[in-house]
Amino acid sequence: MSLTVEIKENVHWVGAVDWNIRDFHGYSTNKGTTYNAYLIMDEKIALFDTVKKSSLSSLLHHIHQLTEPEKIDYIIVNHVEMDHSGSLPEIVDLVKPEKIFCSPMGKKALIDHFHREDWPYEVVKSGDTISLGKKTVTFLETKMLHWPDSMFSYIKEDGLLISSDAFGQHWATTERFDDEVEECELMAHSKKYYGNILLLLSKLVKKLLAQVGEMNLDINMIAPDHGLIWRQSPGKIIEAYDRWSGQESEEKAVIVYDTMWKSTETMARAVYSGLQREGISIKFMSLNDNHRSDIITEIIDAKAILIGSPTLNNGVLPRVADFLTYLKGLKPRNKIGAAFGSYGWSGEAVKIINTALEEMKVELVSPGVRHKYVPSHDSLMESVELGRAVGKAIKKT
């Protein structure tokens, strides 16, 4: 069990650190995560979100360091996903709160999850404000960022934005604040989080950032529901979200492939050589050795995606099929791409990859390259030229 942390005067982190989780619905959390909850001690005591059910004991331990749970007056549910609401039924039964504040869609989601229509729901919308005594809370609905129920809570006296699942990271640490860790690692975790959770919602993120700007909120701290709290550089993560949501690309290509008997891998290396000759930054990522979520992190700011697979049973290898499904769900935009692969007697893999890329609105630079069985040194020049063609196309954009 860890200690509570006062992040602002009478505002405390009371969440839980999950050191051992390694998968978050398809996202590799190889360094764990946190489930952040916040307790404001005022004339009215308010708990902002809870934690995953398996971490209930940590939440209660932290609350007990500050007050008896029964003394909590309000529960604010910014997000209903089970990593933040899983322990809510037990907390509600223990606390017996006067009110549970949630968005209109939040109330529906809570009832759908827990089937408790008797809870003291208080529905709030964007711009609604409640007083806790010395502190006031203003709510901002953030529908589909990343669930329909999501909302932010803003404490104006502290310039504190409690941001639900935005601006977070899946990273278990003993530290609670951005200035207590290495910035490069923090931003890498933040980028991975954005790419695998919010990339498909980029248009909404851009719209939300504009809305927050129009509200002219004085934000000097951002407290997300996962990872580190931004107390030194909240503007840095807002700026990064603005950039990532614009899906701005660098002169960079990601080569993603799987291989059976190394022929497709040999082609991938030849494609790499072609890109290198054009001076393009390259990430070379085997699906056997790299998790899909780490590949997505590199794709965020890449202009080109090149995908390779041999043909297996008239299709692609299973890991390639898995990756294409995952990539399609995240809807990357403003990309160009190409496919390549070896085959024995039918050779459908390149066509299947091309179709998937076109469905994602990735502009194909080439119909792709196929080689039968083992490519010769001379035939590998086709793959080199594919890399060069993609490299030239990157530089034109």
The catalytic residue positions are 25, 79, 81, 83, 146, 165, 193, 226
Reduce the DSSP state of residue 132 to 3 states and report it.
coil
- Residue 255 tokens read as 């080569």
Give the span between the Cα atoms of 280 and 272, in whole angstroms: 9
Task: Please name the residue that has the structure tokens 């979100």.
Answer: 49
Do 362 and 354 form a contact (C-beta atoms < 8 A)? no
Phi, psi of 79 (to 5 degrees): -155, 135
What is the rounded CA–CA span in Å between residue 307 and residue 353? Answer: 7
DSSP H/E element including 81: none
DSSP state of 255: E
Q: What is the DSSP string of 332-356?
A: --S-EEEEEEEESS---HHHHHHHH
Cis peptide bond prior to 84, omega within 30° of 0: no
- Of 301, 291, 290, residue with least CA distance to 199: 301
What is residue 119's DSSP assignment?
S
Q: List, in sequence order, every residue forming a beta bridge with 122; answer none if it has no partner.
A: 101
